Chains A and B, each alone.
Chain A
Amino acid sequence: MGIKIALAGNPNSGKTTLFNALTGSNQFVGNWPGVTVEKKEGRLKDQKDVTITDLPGIYSLSPYTLEEVVARNYLIHERPEAILNIVDGTNLERNLYLTTQLLELGIPVVVAVNMIDVVKKNGDQIRLQPLAEALGCEVVAISALKQTGIKEAAALAVKLAQNQKALPPVHRFSSNVEQVLDQIIPQLPSDIPSAMQRFYAIKLFERDDKIASMMSAAVNVEALIKKAEDKLDEDAESIITNERYNYISSIIHQCYAKKNQSRMSVSDKIDSIVTNRWLALPIFIAVMALVYAVSMGGWSVSIGTLGTDWANDVLFGEWVPGMVGTFLNTMGVGGWLASLIQDGIVAGVGAVLGFVPQMLVLFFLLCILEDIGYMARIAFIMDRIFRRFGLSGKSFIPMLVATGCGVPGIMASRTIEQDRDRKMTIMTTGFIPCGAKMPIIGLFAGALFNNSAWVATSAYFIGVAAVILSGILLKKFKLFAGDPAPFVMELPAYHIPSASNVLRGTWERGWSFIKRAGTIILLSSIVLWFLQGYGFVNGVFQAVEDNNQSLLALIGNTVSWIFYPLGWIGDMGWKATVATMTGLIAKEEVVNTFAVLYHYSGELSEAGNEIWTFVAADFTALSAYSFMIFNLLCAPCFAAMGAIKREMNNPKWTVGAIGYMCGFAYAAAMIVYQIGGFITGEVPLTLFTVIAAVLLAGLIYLLIRPYKESRTLQVELKETAKI
C-alpha cells in the first residue's frame, strides 16, 4: 500500500507550483466526486508509491464554502498519512491560521514556508526553529518557484507518514475556552480516536452541524457553549477564530522579523496604478482588448485566429482530408465507409479541432493574467456591475471570450471561485452571440431587413439581455439561492508568472477540449452524418444526395410542429427545424443547410447572399426574427455542450443548463413572435398569444420578486461523505 500525502494551503500560496514541481508530469486531473471543484493527484517524482493529493486552496476548514468542505471531508475520511502544509512566507500570519486547524486533525503535518527567496530579498527574516516549537510540528523553508528545499520538504513528509506519529497540537487557547473544551471531550463518542478529540470538540463548540452529524452519537453541549458565550460576550464561532489569531499574534514576533514597515512594496506600487480610481477601467479595457485582439480578433497580430484559420482551411481543409483520401484509396475503401470517415468524422471533428489554436493562445494569455494576479483585480474592478445579475466580476472574461467562441468562454469560467457564480456563468455564457452565429444574423439581415446594422446590434443586445435576465431569474430559484457567495477576496501580491504553471494550465485546458473532440463530438458527428446522408427514396432506404430526402429532413418534418408557436409555419417550418438541428454541429451549418434545402448548389458566401431571395419568399420579418432569436439563444453547438458537460461535471447540471437555454430561447422567441405579431396585427389572437402573455407576465413577476440569500451552504457530497 502506498503513502498518501495531502497538499494543503491557502490560495495564492504557491501550492500549484509546488505540486507541479513535486510530481512533474505524473498527474491526474479530474474533479472531486459530484462537484465542480477540480481534483489533482500526482505521484512523487522518484518515489512512485507516494501519492500527493492537491487539496483545493482554502483559508479555513469552515463549513461554508464548497472547497473547504471538500478538503476537510477528504482529511477526515480518507485520512492521508501526512499533510504537507504550504504557507506563504510573505503573508505568514493569515496562512498560519489554516495551519492551526490542520494541526488538530491528528495527522502528521510538515509546514513548508514558501517564497523564502522573496522574504529574504525583502530583508525580512523567518526563524524556523521557534516557529516549529510554537506550532509543534516540522517546519522547513522552500521556494517552489526556484525549486529549493522542496525535495527535503517532501522527504520529511514521507518520513512522518511512515512513522505515523502525529504530535498533539501545541497551541492552546485562553483558559476560559480550554476549560469548556475539557468538559466537552469526555462527552464525545468513544469511537473518536484520541488524536482527533480536540478537533471534534472545537467543531462541536463552533456549532458546526456538518461535523456533528458525522459523529456516531449526538452530543448536546449547547448549555456549555451558551455559558461560554455569555461569559465572553461573543458567539462561539468568533471565540474560536479570535483565539486562533490571538495565538498566532502571540508567537509571530519570535518567528518573524520584518525589516521595514512603511515602505511600499512593488506590488503596492503596481496596484496604485492598475486599480487606481481613474486608470483602472482604461487599463482593464486595454488589457481585455489586447487579449481579444491576439486570440480572437481578425488582424495580423491575431495569432489565435491565424492559427485557427490555418487549421480550418489548410490542416483540416486540405491536408488531413487529402491524406485520409489517399489512404482510403490505397486501402481500397470506398462507398459509405469512406464517406463516413471523410464527411462524418474528419469534417465533424476537424471543424471542432480547428478551434484549438485559438483556444491555446487564449488560455495562454488568461493563464498569465491568472498567474500574475490580475484576475483578482478584474473581479475587484468589475464586481459592482456583475453582482447585480448574480454573477461574479470574473464572469466578464467568459462573456468577452464567448463573443469569439462559446467553448473557450465556458472553459474560462473555471477561474471563478464561487460555485454558484461559476455555474451561473456556464449557463449564461452561451447566450452571447459567438462568431459562428454571425452568418445566421447576416443571412436574415440581408434577406429580410435590408442589411440593416440594427439586426446585428439587436442580436448582441438580446444576448446580453438574456445573460442579465437569467442572472436575475436564476438566483431566485432554490438551486442557486441555496449557496451564499461571500465576496471577501484576497488581492494577492503580483508575481512574475511561472512558465511551467502557465504552459501546464494552457495545455490542461486545451487537452481536455481535444479529448472531448475525440469522444462526444466524434459520436455526434457520426450520428448527424448518418441522419443527413441516408433516407428513404420511394420507400427504399438508401444513401441520399439530396438533403431534402434525408432522415434528418424526415425528423425535421415530424417535429416541426414543436416550433409552430414560434411562427415557423408552412414550408419554412420544417426547413427551419432541420437548419436548427444541423446548427448543433456548428452554427455555421445553419446557413449551409438552408442552401441545401433551397436546392442551391453553387459556391455560397458566408452570409448566403445567393439564397436571400428564397429566404425572403419563405420567411416574414417576424418569423425570421423569431428563428434568429431561437438560434442565438438555444442549445449551443456540440462542442460547447461538451464544454458545459466538462465544467459542470454533473449530468443533472449539464442537462439542466442545456434545457434551460433551450427553454429560455423558446420562450423568448415565442413572446417576440406572438406578442409582436399580435401588436402589428400579423398574428391572430390564439391560445398561443395567451400562453406567450402568461410567459411574459411570469418573467416579469420573477424579475421583481424579492430575493434573499441563504446563509448556509447546501452541498451534497455523497461519495466523499462515507465514514
Chain B
Amino acid sequence: MKTLKDIPVRETVSVKKLHGEGAVRRRIMDMGITKGTQVYVRKVAPLGDPIEVNVRGYELSLRKADAQMIEVE
C-alpha cells in the first residue's frame, strides 16, 4: 500500500482511500483530502516532519504519522 508519507517532494498523487479512524481522520477529510483529490507534496519541514502539501488550492501541513493513513496512487 502506497501512502502519502512515501511520496517524494514535488510529486502529485491522487487519494485512493483514508485509513484509520476518529478525530484525525475526520480532520484530514474536513480539510479537503477526500477520495480522488489531487495532492501535491510541496516540502518537508526542516527537522524532517511534518510535511507540507497543496490540496484544493491551499497549503496544508500534516505529520508523517497522519500522512501514513492516506492511501494514494
Nearest B residue (CB) for A379: B61
Query: Once the chains bind, are B22 and A278 in contact (CB under 8 Å)?
Result: no
In the complex, the answer to whether B48 meets A384 with C-beta atoms within 8 Å is yes
B47 at the interface (CB under 8 A from A): yes
Contact with B along A260-274 (1 / 0, CB 8 A): 000000010001000
Q: Which of B18, B21, B46, B48 has a CB less than 8 Å from the CB of A711? A: B21
CB distance from B11 to the nearest CB of A (A): 16
Q: In residues 23-67 of chain B, which contact A (Cβ within 8 Å)?
A: 23-32, 34-35, 37, 43-50, 52, 56-63, 66
B-side contacts of A234, CB under 8 Å: 35
Closest CB pairs A-B (n = 4)? A711-B22, A64-B23, A384-B47, A60-B30
Q: How many residues of A contact B (CB 8 A)?
A: 46
Partner of A93, one of B23, B49, B56: B56
Is the CB–CB distance between A486 and B50 below 8 Å? Answer: no
A65 at the interface (CB under 8 A from B): yes
> With A and B bound together, what is the CA distance between A489 and B52 in angstroms?
9
Given the contacts A383-B49, A486-B23, A486-B24, A275 and B29 also touching, CB distance less than 8 Å = no
Tell me which of A241, A246, A277, A712 contacts B44 (CB under 8 A): A277
Asked if A713 is at the interface of the complex by the 8 Å CB criterion, the answer is yes
The verdict on A125 contacting chain B, using a C-beta distance below 8 Å, is: no
Q: In whole angstroms, what is the CA distance A120 to B43 when docked?
A: 28
B27/A64 in contact, CB under 8 A:
yes
Contacts known (A65-B23, A245-B37, A384-B47); A491 close to B59, Cβ less than 8 A: yes
In the bound complex, do residue B47 and residue A381 qualify as a contact, i.e. CB atoms below 8 Å apart?
yes
Task: Write out the residue numbers on chain B whose beta carbons fall within 8 Å of the beta carbon of A62.
Answer: 23, 26-27, 30
**Quick one: given A238-B18, A488-B24, are A385 and B30 in contact (CB under 8 Å)?**
no
User: In the complex, which residues of chain A have a beta carbon less than 8 angstroms from the beta carbon of B23?
Assistant: 62, 64-65, 484, 486, 711-713
Given the known A-B contacts A275-B43, A383-B50, A385-B47, are A94 and B27 also in contact in the complex, defined by CB atoms under 8 Å? no
CB distance from B36 to the nearest CB of A (A): 8
Contact partner, B46, options A65, A93, A280, A489, Cβ 8 Å: A280
A277 touches B43 (CB 8 A): yes
Annotate A692-723 by CB proximity to B: 1 below 8 A, 0 otherwise: 00000000000000000001110000000000
- In the complex, are the beta carbons of A241 and B31 less than 8 A apart? no
Question: At the interface, yes or no: A490 with Cβ under 8 Å from chain B?
Answer: yes
Task: Specify which chain B residues have a CB less than 8 angstroms from the CB of A489 in the assembled complex.
Answer: 60-62
Q: Known contacts A241-B34, A488-B31; can you find 4 more A-B pairs with CB under 8 A?
A: A238-B18, A277-B46, A487-B50, A711-B22
Q: Does A97 contact B (CB under 8 A)?
A: yes
Q: A64-B22, A97-B30, A242-B34 are in contact. Are A488 and B47 (CB under 8 A)?
A: no
What number of B residues sit within 8 Å (CB to CB) of A? 34
In the bound assembly, the distance between CA atoms of A59 and B58 in angstroms comes to 14
Chain A 43-83: CB-based contact to B (< 8 A → 1; otherwise 0): 00000000000000001101011000000000000000000
Known A237-B29, A385-B47, A484-B22; judge A490-B59 contact (CB<8 A).
yes
A91 within 8 A of B: yes
Bound-state CA distance A400–B46 (Å) is: 20
In the complex, whether A365 has a CB less than 8 A from a CB of chain B is no
Nearest residue, chain B, Cβ from A272: B43
Is the beta-carbon distance between B32 and A93 smaller than 8 angstroms? yes
Complex: A384 Cα to B27 Cα, angstroms: 20
7 A-B residue pairs with Cβ-Cβ distance under 8 Å, sorted by A, are: A62-B26, A93-B32, A94-B58, A97-B32, A277-B44, A488-B31, A491-B61
Smallest CB gap from A94: residue in B:
B32
- Tell me which residues across on chain A come within 8 A of B56, comparing CB atoms: 91, 93-94
Does A460 interact with chain B (Cβ within 8 Å)?
no
Q: Measured between C-beta atoms, what is the minimum distance from A707 to chain B in Å?
A: 14
Tell me whether A389 is interfacial, beta carbon within 8 Å.
no
- Smallest Cβ-Cβ distance to A489: which chain B residue: B61
Contacts of B25 in A (CB 8 A): 237
In the complex, how many angstroms separate the beta carbon of A372 from the nearest chain B beta carbon? 15
Known: A383-B45, A488-B66. A59 touches B60 (CB 8 A): no
| B43 with A487: CB separation less than 8 A | no
B31 touches A94 (CB 8 A): yes
List chain A residues, Cβ under 8 A from B37: 245
Q: Does residue A380 face the partner (Cβ distance < 8 Å to B)?
A: yes
CB pair A486 B27 closer than 8 Å? yes
Flag if A712 contacts B22 (CB, 8 Å). yes
Query: Chain B CB within 10 Å — which of A60, A385, A487 has the most?
Result: A487
A384, A387, A490: the one within 8 Å of B60 (CB): A490
Would you call A281 an interface residue if the criterion is a C-beta within 8 Å of the partner chain's C-beta atoms? yes
Whole-angstrom CA separation of A170 from B72 in the bound complex: 32
For residue A376, which residues in chain B have a CB less than 8 angstroms away from its CB?
Answer: 61
Partner of A64, one of B26, B35, B49, B62: B26
Residue of B nearest to A711 (CB): B22
